[in-house]
Amino acid sequence: MRTNKLFTSQYKELFLPLIVEQLFLTLIGNFNVFLFSLFNDQMVAAIGISDQLLNIFAMITNIVVLGASILIIQNADKSRIEYVKSILKESVILNLIIALLIVLSVFLFNKNLLQLMQTPKELLDETSIYIRVVSLSIVFLAMTSLMLASLRAFGYVKNAVSVSVLNTVLVIIGNSLIVILNLGGISYIAVATLLARLLGMIITFLTLKKNIPELFIIDKPFKKLPLKKEILSLGIPSAMEQISYNFSQTIITAIIASLGTIAVSSKIYTQTITSFIFSIGVAAGVSGNLIIGNLYREKNFEKIEDFGIMNTNKISLIAAGINLILALFGNYIVKIFTTNPDIMEIVRNLLFFQILLDPMRVSNEILVNSLNVLKDVKYPVMVGIITTYALVIPLSYLAVNKLGMGLQSVWIVFIIDESLRRLLFTKRFKSGKWIKLNEVEDGQKI
């Protein structure tokens, strides 16, 4: 009974603003795809390929953000403010170093990476410009994510959402002006994105300083704590699961690119149409993390397990229902993005596959988030790497390049993978092995 009340009251207060935030974050991607489609399907493919690589680079900086977020959530109390300040200081230093290395790598090897992605030759030059410019914004995104995580952990969820939405609107306005006023092509869109993300980071900084000024009071030297190691020990496994997934998507995009621009555009349009469903899973995962963090500080491990499974099951059912509606009306929705009959036919078929795929994906997002915040960070990445490289990539390559089964076969592989991962993550969460991990580390906390 208590768990049900927790789900309906405290959860609702967290979930509703967070789903608004996630939907706006998704909107930027969808709106950009729509804007780019006003040029042509080739621009959609070019930016889609670039963003696949940029997502991997963002995941690398997210190593620090995830590790720091776990520590901040578990110590989000004014009595622990000095400890949180030390976490943020070490995180900023680590992120600056990582971001610098990423930008240097992109500027030196961008065309090599794009060629590995099987980028069509006619798209290579424009894609190269876009990825170099937008890569400069990776550090802005990392710092913004770190500050937003701090706001949420200390209970300023609505403030974090407001800032996140504003940041998204800035990017949309910039890109819209470029396209609608015909001010330039893909390079101008990249510059607009870069400037909007810089401004967004500044706004987030000012919001954090206003709401938690204690974080910026330096009345004594920072304690020299071994936090870099702890941040990385939590962040690397947490981020590796996401990096592995995104890297596999990059390889699969390269496999799909071998089928031509129509296949790549079909993949992007399908994922654009259904992307807000995954946003529901992200919002549910973040909301669940904050509640689990509170229960963790109370040492209420039994309620953590009950809540985690309930959260997963309810959001999974919601995802299935929404996907069914999208599939039934897919014929009308896809016309918003393209009139190419070949692309439209493929997308309509893939939307029905999404009815099985997305409930599994959102379930795994929630379960992995729950395990990570409880410091059970190694198991999800181990499962993710094994299933990705022993199952998803080999089967996708076999289906597309050897058997000539087309894009739909890749979606079948996705469904098998996500279903297997949900089974394994659910079993792990119910096993309670994360309790022992936290019991061991409680005595080490400063």
193/240 same-domain check: no
pLDDT of res. 80 = 76
What rounded mean pLDDT belongs to the chain? 82
Q: Is residue 430, in this structure, part of any structural domain at all?
A: yes
Q: Is residue 151, in this structure, part of any structural domain at all?
A: yes
Closest C-alpha among 191, 236, 190 to residue 68: 236
Question: Coil, strand, or helix at residue 331?
Answer: helix
Output the six-digit token pair for 352: 């029905």
Q: Is residue 21, in this structure, part of any structural domain at all?
A: no
138/83 same-domain check: yes
132/206 same-domain check: yes
**Residue 284 identity:** A
45/104 same-domain check: yes
Closest C-alpha among 413, 428, 412, 417 to residue 312: 428
202/245 same-domain check: no
Q: How far, CA to CA in Å, does 111 sit from each of 44, 47, 403? A: 18, 14, 30
Q: Is residue 263, in this structure, part of any structural domain at all?
A: yes
Average pLDDT over residues 254-280: 84
pLDDT of res. 414 = 92
Closest C-alpha among 382, 406, 156, 397 to residue 267: 406
Looking up tokens 């976490």 gives 87
Looking up tokens 């690589």 gives 53
CA distance 161 to 172: 17
Contact, 169 vs 23, CB < 8 A? no
Contact, 391 vs 416, CB < 8 A? yes
Output the six-digit token pair for 3: 């768990």
Q: Produce one character per residue of 26-38: b if its CB has 16 or more CB atoms within 10 Å, e if not.
A: bbbbbbbbebbbe
300/419 same-domain check: yes
Q: Produce one character per residue of 386-412: b if its CB has 16 or more CB atoms within 10 Å, e if not.
A: ebbeebbbebbbebbeeeeeebebbbb
CA distance 60 to 345: 36
Write the pLDDT tens digit of every residue in 394-430.
999 998 888 878 888 999 999 999 999 999 999 999 8
The CA-to-CA distance between both ends of the chain, in Å, stands at 35
Q: Is residue 15, in this structure, part of any structural domain at all?
A: no
H or E stretch including 247?
helix 227-257
CA distance 286 to 301: 18
Domain boundary among 146, 180, 215: 215
Burial class from Cβ neighbours inside 10 Å (0-12, 13-18, 19+) for residue 299 reads exposed
Give the list of residues 6+ apart from residue 333 with CB closer than 8 angstroms, or none: 273, 326
Q: Is residue 16, in this structure, part of any structural domain at all?
A: no
**Identity of the highest mean pLDDT range in 41-55, 120-134, 228-242:** 120-134
Write the pLDDT tens digit of every residue in 58-106.
878 888 888 888 888 877 777 778 888 888 888 888 888 988 999 999 8
Q: What is the DSSP string of 10-77?
A: HHHHHHHHHHHHHHHHHHHHHHHHHHHHHH-HHHHHHHHHHHHHHHHHHHHHHHHHHHHHHHHHHT-S
CA distance 320 to 281: 12
> Range with the lowest mean pLDDT among 41-50, 56-65, 143-152?
41-50
Contact, 319 vs 285, CB < 8 A? no
Q: What is the DSSP string of 307-326?
A: HHHHHHHHHHHHHHHHHHHH
Write the pLDDT tens digit of every residue in 175-232.
888 877 777 777 888 898 899 999 999 999 999 999 888 887 766 655 556 677 788 8
For residue 183, the 8-state DSSP code is: -
Output the six-digit token pair for 326: 């999208």
Closest C-alpha among 21, 51, 273, 56 to residue 167: 21
Q: Is residue 19, in this structure, part of any structural domain at all?
A: no
Say if residue 438's pLDDT is above 80. no
For residue 80, the 8-state DSSP code is: G
179/277 same-domain check: no
66/196 same-domain check: yes
206/279 same-domain check: no
Give the list of residues 6+ apart from residue 408 with CB closer than 8 angstroms, or none: 346, 349, 350, 353
Domain of residue 210 covers 39-215
Question: Coil, strand, or helix at residue 376?
Answer: coil
Average pLDDT over residues 364-393: 88
376/342 same-domain check: yes
pLDDT > 70: percent of the chain: 90
Nearest 10 degrees: Cα torsion 424, 425, 430, 433? 100
Looking up tokens 């006619």 gives 122
Give the list of residues 6+ apart from residue 122 with CB closer than 8 angstroms, or none: 42
Q: Produce one character per residue of 248-258: b if its CB has 16 or more CB atoms within 10 Å, e if not.
A: bbbbbbbbbbe
Output the six-digit token pair for 413: 């592989």
Q: Is residue 395, in this structure, part of any structural domain at all?
A: yes
162/99 same-domain check: yes
338/370 same-domain check: yes
The count of domains in the chain is 2
pLDDT of res. 205 = 94
